[in-house]
Structure formats: C-alpha cells, structure tokens
Structure 1
Amino acid sequence: MAPESSEYKDAIEHEKGELSDKGSASLEDHLTGSAYIAEAEPSKAIVARFGVLGPFLAKLFDLGVEARGVERIPENMRDETHFWNNIFMWWSVNTVLTTISIGVLAQPLFGLSLPVAAATILCFGALATCLVSFIATLGPKTGLRTMIIARFSSGYVGGAIYSILNIITELGFSVLCVVLGGQALVAVNPGTLPLAAGIVIVGVLSLVPCFIGYDMIHKSERYAWIPLIIVMFCLWGLGAKQGFDVAGARERQSTGRALSADVLSFGGIIFGSFSGWSPVAADYNCRMPSNISPWKIFGMTFIGLYIPICLVEILGAALASIPDTAYIEAYTDGGTGGLVAQVLKPWNGGGKFLLVILALSNLMNNIINTYSAGLSIQALGRPFAMVPRFFWTLVCFAAYTVAGVVGREHFSEILTNFLAILAYWTGWFAIIVFEEHFIFRRKGGRLGGYNFDDWDTPSKLPLGIAGILAGCFGVAGAVVGMAEVWYIGPLGKMAGGMFGTDLGFELAAAFAATTYPPLRWLEIHFTGR
C-alpha cells in the first residue's frame, strides 16, 4: 500500500462512516481491496502531504505535471490509447545521434569490416531485444514500473539495489546524450559555441517533457521519429555517395581467434545498447489494460526497438568506414558529431540545418532516461516515493549535466566502458525476472501468480535472498569474463585476442540463470513467499 497521508486517513474515515451507515460487515476487506487514495488520486495525497507547499504543487498538477510516481495504476484507470504511441516512442527514442555513435565504434576501436559489424549488430541486437520485449509485457499485466516489478523476484532490498544500478544506468545514458548533442551543436559553426554550453542547452531542452510526465512524453515522441528517420536516410545517401569501404576494411580485419575476440567484445557493447532499455521497458505501457495480449506488447516493443536501432547503428558503422582522410580527421577531432558534420558538409546550409536536428534528436533519448531515473529514485523505498517524481527529475538533470560538462573530453572512453558494463547487469536482471515469471509465478507454479497489492509491503514480498545471491553470481560471471581497458578477467584473457575477449554479459547471464531457480526454490520452501 502506498505511504499514508493525512488526506488518505481522512478518506478512510469518510469511507468508514459511509460503510457504517450501510451496515457493511466487510470494512477491512473493502479498504484493503481499494488500496486506495494514494494510488487512485496521487495528486491529492501529495498536496495534503506537503502542507504549505500544497497550493503550489496543486497548481503544477493542474497545469498538467504528472503526480503519479511508482504507485500501481488501478485497472479502471487504464486503456489502450497509448498502444501505437509506444511503437513510435521507441522509434523516436532510438533514431538519434547517440545510436549512430555506438555503430561508429566497430572499425576504429575493434577493426571490424562493415559486413561483420552489421552481422554483429543484427544478431546481438535480436537477442537483447527479446529480453527487453519480455519485460515490456509485464507493464500491462502488473500496472507497475519495472523497478517495482523487480521486487517480486528480488524482494524490497533487492529491488532497491536494482534501482541504484538503474539510476546509474540512466544517468550514464544521459551523459552520453548531452555530450554528443553538444558536440553536434558545436560542429554546426565550429569556434562559436563552447562544448560545455552545447551540453547545457541539450540538457535544459530535454528537461521539460520528462518534468511534465507520461502523457507529455508519449505525445512528444509520437511524431518525432518522422523527421529523424528522413535525416538518417539522408546520411545513408551522402555516405554512400562518398563511398563506404567494404573490401579494404575486410583486408585489414583480424582473423581467427583475434576476430572472434573483436566480434564478441563489440557484441557486448551492442547487447548493452539494446538491453539498456530492459530496466525501463514496463514504465511506458503500465497504463494499458491487463487483458491486452502479451504477444501484442512483445511484438510492438520488438518492432519499435530492433528496426530503428539496427538501421542507425549500422549507419554509424558505415560512416566510420569511409576512407577519406577528411572524414577520419573529423572523427578524431570532433567525435561522432564532427564525423556527421563532415558527411553533411556538401549540403552547406541545408546540412547545418540537418545537423541541428540531429543534435536535438538526443532530446528524445534523454527524456526517457531522465523520467525513468526519477522513478528509480522513488523505487528506492517509501521515504523517496513520498517526494514527487518531478523533484527527482530536477536532481537527475543537475547530476548528468554537471557530469557531462566535466567528462566532455572523454566521450569515447565513457561510451565503450559504460555500455559494456551496462550489458553485464541488465543481462542477469532480465534473466532473473524471466525465470521468476515463467517458473515460479506461472499458473501451476510454486506461487501460482502475483498478488499485486503486495508491491509496497515488504513483509509480503520475497525476502530477496535468492535474487540478491543470483545477482552476486552474475557479478562473479562478469568479473571472470570481462575484458576492459582497466581489467581483463581470467576467462576473458584465455579466450584470446590482443586485449582479451569480453565475455562478461554472457557469463553474467549464465551464472545468474543457473543459480536463481534452486536458490528461489529454497527461499519459497522455507519462507512461503
């Protein structure tokens, strides 16, 4: 049940009086089943909770700022209005400059030819998208945000741990978004705008929709993909005119175990770029009715993620393969923003206009990161949930903008290390939630389903021992299999390659998948939950 407020208590007393007049003999059942005021009308609960600030908060809510945070959405407050919005939202979120920057890494960092890079993106992307699409199906089923759903497998404490990891994840993505967007703005007219200023501009512009909330996000994202996809096709055309180097790159590519090491390491980054959406996938369809087909949600999410990310990441790999010295120097001096500016240069003023659109495209991605980061802070526990979501949105904005300004000269290092590590935990997180759902919560399983009213009652949720221990085994798998600049695990080193082979996410997921079922069986056996 949501944290109580004075307004909540007043509403309960009011219901007691009404039920008493009616001679109800099931007062407790009625109140428990209602669950009630804070979930059905969170704006009123928040206004009552903050006393002298109440009128100001009420004005914000009247203007359209979303009051609802991590509270479960009652079934009678859901509909299918946002179904098509969700597909287009994912298209808008991923048809952005940040996605290009991930594909760009294939050749300069891993020495992969365009055909090999494309195959790696398609294969690792499909695997990760399946996991994200599964998580998305739990939104309508539960009416809960993703980090709250994690409590049903890993308990209240385990859910808080995942929330911390997701806060770091979303803020990390936000840093990448604002830095890359800033790079692109700087490249429009080099020498006229400092990179730090460009970063602040992107951060501020992305704040407004996620400050307002769920409805504004869906509305702003529904059509944004249309101009963005047009710009991406323009880049494809201009890059192809310049000439993608397919044969030459293949000749310089490694062979044997060295090639497999490069493919697996790049594949880990690709997996992370897709699976990074798994900790937030249910956040954006939890207002859909529970009777909507899970396959419909799965397909919607798969299409919305897989097609645009593959299209744009392969574009990045293609642009990085252009052998012209001017393009290589543009990337070296200005990163992905500089490379894209060079591709658009033949169109002069028109190219600069498209570059501005690309710089602002990162807003679409950053909106999602900031909104879900605020929800994840609320999911840390009741004291955090009692603070309105929009306040945590402001905190996140300040954190990633400052981090972006400080780390703006190290974009490539941040990108490669962040995405690889991201793949480690999102892989085992999705696997644990998957096994809980299909092994223990299935009809006929040990628990036979969910009691969604328990979402904020620690005494009725799992202790979380199994989920936390399985996560620890996932960490162990990542450590022995990882291959980063700053550390190479023993198995990562044995797998070959000049810098080892990054097997971190594969081993993390495998270790967690193997250990969670027996640990969870024991937990249920001894605790019954």
Structure 2
Amino acid sequence: MTAPEPTTDGTYRDRIIAVEPGGNEFIADADRHGRPSQLVWTWASPNLEFATIFLGVLAVAYYGMNFWQAAAGILLGAGLGVLAHGVLSARGPRHGVPQMVLGRLPFGFKGNAVPSTLMSITAGVGWFATNSVSGAFALSTLFGIGPLPALVVVVLIQTSLAFFGHNLVQAFERFAFPVLAVIFALASVAILGKSDLGAPAFEDGVGGLGGFLLTVGTTFGYVAGWAPYAADFSRYLPKTVSPVRTGFFAATGLFLACTTLAIVGAASVTIATDATDNPTDAFTSSLPEWLASATLLAIAIGAIAANAINVYSGAMAFVTTGIKLPAHIARALATVFFGVAGFLIAWWALADAAASYEAFLLLIAYWIGPWLGVVFADQYLRRGHRVEGFLYDRSYTNWPGLASFLIGLVVSVLLFCNQERFVGFVVRAVPELGDITFFVGFVLAAGCYLVFCRAKIEAERVAL
C-alpha cells in the first residue's frame, strides 16, 4: 500500500513577511524558488557564532591539544560532517520534503518517530538553549544588562523568525551573512595576530590520541548535527537544479564557517587574559574596544541566525513524529512550544555553559552517527528506486531499520562512550581511545541495515 503526497497550494511562493502555511507537506512546483548558491549563507550564517568558536576553545583548554593538533582535529571532524550534510542537502530539490520525512523510508512511518523526537529535542530544545546562552552572554556584556533579560530578548527574536517560517529565515541568513563575515574576519585577524600558535598544550588536559579523538568527535557532532536539517532548506529549490551544486554549496558554507571560527577559537586560548565566568567576554577581551563591541554584537546575531534554523527544523521534526495537528498551524504552533522549552533550558544552563556544551556535543554525535549510518545505507539500497508513495503512508513499516539504529546506538555507547557519568567498557580498558562512539555507531548501524533490509527494499522496488 502507498499513499499520495499532500502538497502545498502554491500561495506561499517567495513571500517573506508571511507565515509559512502547513507543516511538512511536499513543496509544489508553484512554491519552488531560489538557487543552490544561496545555501552558502544559509549554512554559513548560523555557524558564524560563539558555539562554533567554543569548539576550538574546548580542544585546547579541555582536551589538551596544542593549536596545530586542535586545527587538524577540527578540519577532520568538520570534513566528515559536511560530507554527510552535502549528500543529504542534494536530495531536497528532488523529493521536495523535509529531511525527517525522508527518514520514513529507512525507519517506517511509526518507527521514524524515534529519530524525529530525538531531532526535535536536539534542535528545538538542546541547540536552541546552547546558542541562546552564548547570545545572552554577548548582549549582557555589550549592554551591561543581566544575562536573563538578555536571554529573553534573544529568544523572542529568534522564535519570531522561525514562527514565520522558511522564507523569512532564509532572508535573515542572507542579510546577516555579510555583517557576520566582515566582523568575524576582522576579529579573527586580530586574535591570530596576538596568539601564540607555538604554545605547548595545557598539562591538565586529556592530551594524546584521546584528546585528538575528542576534538574530532565534538567537531563532528557539531557539524553533523546539522544533517537532520539538510533537506529542510533545500526542498524549496526547483526540481531542475543540479544536485551536485546543491550539495556543494550547502557543504561549502558549513565547512568554511565552522573550520574558520573553531580554529580561531583554538588560537584565542593561547592569549593570556583575565579569568571570567562569561565565555564571550573572555574571547573578546584581547580585542580593541570598538572591535570587541562589534564582535559581541555579531555573536548575538549569529546565535539568532542559528536558532531561527534550530527551532524551525525542530518544529518540523516534531510535526513529522505523526502527531496530528491542524495543518495550517502545525509547524507554527510547535515553534512556539520549542521556543518556550528552549528558553527554560537555556536559563538553567547559564550557570555552567562550558560543561553543558561539551557533554551536549558528544551526546549529539552518539545518535547522529547511527542515524546517518541507517540513512546512507537505505539511500544506497534504494538508488534508482521511486520512493514517493511511501513517505506519507501511515501503514508503511521498516522495523529492521529502527532495530539497526538502536543496535548501533546502544552497542557503541556501552562500549565506547567516554562521559563523566559513564565510561564504555572498551574505553575503560583502553582509555587512550578517547571517544569514538560516533564512528562505531555509524559503521555498526549501516552494516546491520544492509544485512537486515536488502531483501525487503528490493521487493518494494518490484512492487512499486
């Protein structure tokens, strides 16, 4: 059994100041617009922010890497992450549906509720809270106000953008891009000029192979954390655009922004500054006053750019879990819900942003790794297949796909997790491994899926 795809009605088109109607429907040709090159700023702007900078800070200050080791780990982790993001972005124009709707192929309609729920919590609450904290700290320092009032301002702006939907979010990313690029370029030059790139690694860090793998893992977790959003922002492009160009521009914007700022963050730790509980203040304290103020403003704008996407796609994933809401308010209503939930979590995280961020990045990688393994294995098995009839069929199941995901997730965490509250059994015996949970989860989930689902998918191709 297959089901027809619900579609948009052609009234939204490229209107910016209009609430995007519906939820996760197929995008009709009349609503398609744009070009692949716009994905450069779509994915660069939300990563020109302090959360990206702090990847490098973690590598040097917490993982015991020197600058060059940190830079190598950042480039490797980001490279692996953007490969996934580019491949998934390329599918958006062809299928015209959000990324998590495509997830119904490897997981089935009901089974897909598991990764969709994880995605909605990760994006709409976790990332929303993480970025809101950095934006709040920046505004707090810039205007001399308390972190809580600053947090309220940031949350209201980014939730409003996401409430209106795709076109307004895309427009904000476009106009924010040149502002963020210029300010962060000036700040980067100033910081690199003052940093000591040959400084030895901190003695109290993790160090060695374990520290390097933690750097790769947290960077991969950050960058690949955007993968479950990928098609959300390419699905409005015309069907005729090149998939290669679509994937290339999405990956390029993401890679350049993430690697540049994370490496600058690593360099910033080598500059001697006064101790402070405000991480954004610590980053800008070595800059001239005018540039420090501009950088704090850019950090706040970057946080808003990131969270407009986070809460939008978090709400989209929530709608994709199968919960029935009125179609014309489904996504917008979920957006408001996640805005409130994210605010509450961000308020709680203000007390210890660094520890919360490190754990969060690794936890993202734990489920993203096996999720990507299943998604890519499914895409490989279905190459050349028609898939449209399965995406909105509530009776379609693929329980072996969900089982593959859970096997990859549970086994990799039990054996290779390296968190403060739980250390995997293999890591206990070989602590120099650091944390390779994400790699093991990816390979194990993909292998299971290829074994469990090959015959089923071939039979579906014949039937359809």
Say whether the fold is shared (TM-score over 0.5).
Answer: yes
Aligned residues of 1:211 and 1:393 also touching (Cα < 8 A): yes
Deviation track 1:168-201 (CA, whole Å, cap 9, x = no partner) reads 1102111111111111122225xx4111111111
The one-letter code sitting in structure 2 at the alignment partner of 1:357 is A
For 1:389, the equivalent position in structure 2 comes to 331
Q: Distance in 2 between matches of 1:380 and 1:66?
A: 19
Aligned residues of 2:113 and 2:321 also touching (Cα < 8 A): yes
Asked if 1:212 corresponds to 2:169, the answer is: no
Give the TM-score of the pair, scaled to structure 1: 0.81
Deviation track 1:72-124 (CA, whole Å, cap 9, x = no partner) reads 11245324x24222211111111112211222111111110000000001111
Among 501, 508, 519, the residue aligned to 2:452:
519
For 1:454, the equivalent position in structure 2 comes to 390
Q: SS in structure 2 opposite 1:485?
A: coil
For 1:197, the equivalent position in structure 2 comes to 149
Q: How many residues align?
A: 457
Among 44, 47, 54, the residue aligned to 1:101:
54
What are the equivalent positions in structure 2 for 1:83-482 lying under 5 Å apart?
83-170=36-123, 171-189=125-143, 192-242=144-194, 244-250=195-201, 252=203, 259-322=208-271, 324-326=272-274, 329-330=275-276, 333-335=277-279, 337-344=280-287, 347-384=288-325, 386=327, 387-439=329-381, 441-443=382-384, 449-459=385-395, 461=396, 463-475=397-409, 476-482=411-417
Q: SS in structure 1 opposite 2:286?
A: helix
Q: Distance in 1 between matches of 2:148 and 2:172?
A: 26
* 1:208 Cα deviation after fit: 2.0
For 1:510, the equivalent position in structure 2 comes to 443
Q: SS in structure 2 opposite 1:247?
A: coil
Q: Distance in 1 between matches of 2:417 and 2:191?
A: 34
* 1:409 Cα deviation after fit: 0.5
* 1:493 Cα deviation after fit: 2.2
Q: SS in structure 1 opposite 2:237?
A: coil
* 1:238 Cα deviation after fit: 2.3
Q: Distance in 1 between matches of 2:270 and 2:181?
A: 21
Q: Distance in 2 between matches of 1:93 and 1:349?
A: 23
Aligned residues of 1:86 and 1:300 also touching (Cα < 8 A): yes
* 1:223 Cα deviation after fit: 2.7
Task: Give the 3 Å change call, closer, same or farther, for CA 227–179 of structure 1 in structure 2.
Answer: same
Aligned residues of 2:407 and 2:445 also touching (Cα < 8 A): yes
Q: Distance in 1 between matches of 2:110 and 2:244?
A: 31
* 1:70 Cα deviation after fit: 0.2
For 2:423, the equivalent position in structure 1 comes to 488
The one-letter code sitting in structure 1 at the alignment partner of 2:242 is S
Q: Distance in 1 between matches of 2:37 and 2:249?
A: 8
Aligned residues of 1:112 and 1:253 also touching (Cα < 8 A): no
* 1:464 Cα deviation after fit: 1.9
Q: Distance in 2 between matches of 1:281 and 1:507?
A: 23
For 1:40, the equivalent position in structure 2 comes to 8
Q: SS in structure 2 opposite 1:409?
A: coil
Deviation track 1:430-468 (CA, whole Å, cap 9, x = no partner) reads 2211111122x113xxxxx13314321123x3x121211
Q: 172-181 or 200-209, which moves further after superposition? A: 200-209
What are the equivalent positions in structure 2 for 1:46-65 lying under 5 Å apart?
64-65=18-19
Give the TM-score of the pair, scaled to structure 2: 0.92
What are the equivalent positions in structure 2 for 1:20-31 lying under 5 Å apart?
none
Higher relative contact order (Cα pairs below 8 Å, separated by 6+ residues) = 2
Task: Give the 3 Å change call, closer, same or farther, for CA 217–181 of structure 1 in structure 2.
Answer: same
* 1:486 Cα deviation after fit: 0.9
The one-letter code sitting in structure 2 at the alignment partner of 1:136 is S
Q: Distance in 2 between matches of 1:417 and 1:380?
A: 26
* 1:363 Cα deviation after fit: 0.5
Q: Distance in 1 between matches of 2:200 and 2:100?
A: 43
* 1:159 Cα deviation after fit: 1.4
Deviation track 1:35-75 (CA, whole Å, cap 9, x = no partner) reads 5xx5232989xxxxxxxxxxxxxxxx996111031011124
- Unaligned 5+ segments in structure 2 are none
Q: Distance in 2 between matches of 1:338 and 1:251?
A: 21
* 1:348 Cα deviation after fit: 2.4
* 1:224 Cα deviation after fit: 1.1
* 1:166 Cα deviation after fit: 0.2
- Bigger helix fraction: 1
Q: Distance in 2 between matches of 1:472 and 1:526?
A: 24
Aligned residues of 1:89 and 1:218 also touching (Cα < 8 A): yes
Deviation track 1:265-299 (CA, whole Å, cap 9, x = no partner) reads 12110100100011000000111233322211121
* 1:504 Cα deviation after fit: 0.8
* 1:338 Cα deviation after fit: 1.7
Aligned residues of 1:114 and 1:246 also touching (Cα < 8 A): yes
Aligned residues of 2:57 and 2:268 also touching (Cα < 8 A): yes
* 1:247 Cα deviation after fit: 2.6
Task: Give the 3 Å change call, closer, same or farther, for CA 355–264 of structure 1 in structure 2.
Answer: same
For 1:55, the equivalent position in structure 2 comes to none
Task: Give the 3 Å change call, closer, same or farther, for CA 43–397 of structure 1 in structure 2.
Answer: farther
Q: 377-386 or 200-209, which moves further after superposition? A: 377-386
* 1:393 Cα deviation after fit: 0.7
